[in-house]
A = this chain, B = another copy of it.
Amino acid sequence: MKDLIIGIDLGGTTTKSAIIKTNGELLHQWTIETNTEQNGKQIIPTIIASIKQTIVEQQIAMARILGIGMGSPGAVDRSNGTVSGAYNLHWHHTEPINEQFAQAFACPFFLENDANAAALGEKWKGSGEDQANVVFLTLGTGVGGGMIVNHELVVGRHGCAGEIGHLHVTDDEEFQCTCGNQGCLESIASATGLVHLMKKLAETFKEESSLKEKVRSHQQVSVKEIFDAAKEQDVFAVHVVTEFSYYIGLACAHITNTLDPDKIILGGGIAAAGQVLLDHVRLSCERFVFPKARNKERLTLANLGNTAGVLGAAYLVLSKQKG
């Protein structure tokens, strides 16, 4: 009986892997360093060797493995099974992935980008509650998204489905995006964007605030400090978080008026701010959502943390095998 799946979450410094039951139960997890020496030549062979070794150690028969799934940074070419532009892995070339796995294992192998894999994980075993239509928003260095419709990942014509970070949310010309467009969500709602927004707001904010003074005197302020100050009711911090969340909520409303999904999950480093962020984003989102689609349960925080990637990679195998 094929009752096990191997999920891999390839990252710039470490690679997480897991043997997962087809019901999502994590049987065994392990982490190895990602060996990026020699232009990352050893990355995939090292992962393959560690899987083979673990299977032996755990005394698991290969016949039980339904398939192997992997989430990778960079641009994934699903038809050719390659990854390009994964500079943090030192892959300055197009790395063939499926080929190496096909030579090492007889079972099917599926590749997806890491953000989409995390989205599938949260959909399956996290805050997505295994609903059919789930959108995952990562708020971190950049702003990304994963779209799941009818239990399947939507990648889009040019692989650009879920480019939520590039929804146009403001006409303020000060917010230039790295993509070349202007007013993209990412130019405000990424970590860099948030700091930019805060500095801009500090210029005109009238009330007294210790956070504002810090910003005005050019001291370094971390994202965590902003949210901590907001939790302690610093008036300027609350203003910054409200503005910041306004734009994320507006983008969530755009997604809702388009797809009316069961869940929109906020993840990534900034989502660690937790309830204070969620409350503000909800308020803004509800304001712009078509009244009949309003639903307080839709917006939620990611809850899997580090295991979203391996679980999503495993779900990828499950959904592809069904299809």
Whether A288 contacts B181 by the Cβ 8 Å rule is yes
Whether B254 contacts A167 by the Cβ 8 Å rule is yes
Q: How far is the CB of A74 from chain B (nearest CB, A)?
A: 14
Contacts of A292 in B (CB 8 A): 158-160
The answer, yes or no, to whether A164 is at the interface (CB within 8 Å) is: yes
The answer, yes or no, to whether A211 is at the interface (CB within 8 Å) is: no
C-alpha spacing A159/B260, complex, angstroms: 7
B interface footprint on A43-66 (CB within 8 Å = 1, 0 otherwise): 000000000000000000000000
B interface footprint on A241-260 (CB within 8 Å = 1, 0 otherwise): 00000000010011111111
Q: How far is the CB of A275 from chain B (nearest CB, A)?
A: 23
Whether A293 contacts B259 by the Cβ 8 Å rule is no
C-alpha spacing A158/B294, complex, angstroms: 9
Whether A253 contacts B293 by the Cβ 8 Å rule is no
Contacts of A159 in B (CB 8 A): 260, 292
The answer, yes or no, to whether A196 is at the interface (CB within 8 Å) is: no
Contacts of A155 in B (CB 8 A): 260
Whether A154 contacts B133 by the Cβ 8 Å rule is yes
Whether B157 contacts A133 by the Cβ 8 Å rule is yes
Whether B254 contacts A161 by the Cβ 8 Å rule is no
C-alpha spacing A262/B161, complex, angstroms: 11
Whether B257 contacts A288 by the Cβ 8 Å rule is no
When C-beta atoms are compared, the residue in chain B nearest to A152 turns out to be B150
Contacts of A255 in B (CB 8 A): 258
256-305 of chain A: CB within 8 A of chain B: 256-262, 287-293, 295, 298
Whether A181 contacts B287 by the Cβ 8 Å rule is yes
Whether B287 contacts A154 by the Cβ 8 Å rule is no
Q: How far is the CB of A168 from chain B (nearest CB, A)?
A: 4
Whether B298 contacts A157 by the Cβ 8 Å rule is yes
Whether A150 contacts B147 by the Cβ 8 Å rule is no
23 contacts across the A-B interface (CB closer than 8 A): A133-B157, A149-B149, A149-B150, A150-B152, A157-B295, A158-B295, A159-B292, A160-B256, A160-B290, A160-B292, A160-B293, A161-B260, A162-B258, A163-B257, A163-B260, A164-B257, A166-B257, A167-B257, A168-B253, A181-B288, A254-B254, A254-B258, A258-B259
The 7 lowest CB-CB distance pairs between A and B, nearest first, are: A156-B260, A160-B293, A160-B260, A166-B290, A161-B260, A163-B290, A168-B288
Question: 20 more A-B contacts (CB under 8 A) besides A156-B293, A181-B290?
Answer: A133-B156, A147-B258, A149-B154, A150-B152, A150-B154, A157-B293, A157-B298, A158-B260, A158-B292, A158-B295, A161-B259, A162-B258, A163-B290, A164-B257, A164-B258, A168-B288, A179-B291, A254-B254, A254-B258, A255-B258
